[in-house]
């Protein structure tokens, strides 16, 4: 699902997506204001394989946790431009 550039979409919206669409395999959150708090709701998305967090408020610490914990998850397009 592509939610990129939805500037009103934040942590609360991400929590709702994780609850309602927990079987998603791909999620694009590029240029959204999601933070580390919102990203914690992704743990229930066990089928998630591709996640684009480019230009979000993701911290390097949370990025590393995602990379190590979810070895199956592709984070190829994630950068830290807004930190």
According to the model, what pLDDT value does residue 82 have? Answer: 43
For tokens 């431009």, name the residue.
81
According to the model, what pLDDT value does residue 18 have? Answer: 92
74: left (phi over 0), alpha (psi -120 to 50) or beta: beta
Q: Which stretches in the chain have pLDDT values below 50?
A: 82-83
Residue 70 has a CB neighbour count (10 Å cut-off) of 17
According to the model, what pLDDT value does residue 53 have? Answer: 86
According to the model, what pLDDT value does residue 45 have? Answer: 87
Cα–Cα distance for residue pair 58/36, rounded to 1 Å: 6
Tell whether pTM > 0.85: no
């Amino acid at each position: 699902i592509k939610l990129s550039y939805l500037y009103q979409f934040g942590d609360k919206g991400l929590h709702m997506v994780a609850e309602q669409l927990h079987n998603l395999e791909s999620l694009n959150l590029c240029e959204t204001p999601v933070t580390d708090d919102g990203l914690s709701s992704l743990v229930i998305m066990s089928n998630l394989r591709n996640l684009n967090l480019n230009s979000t408020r993701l911290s390097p610490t949370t990025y590393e946790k995602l990379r190590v914990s979810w070895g199956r998850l592709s984070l190829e397009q994630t950068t830290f431009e807004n930190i």
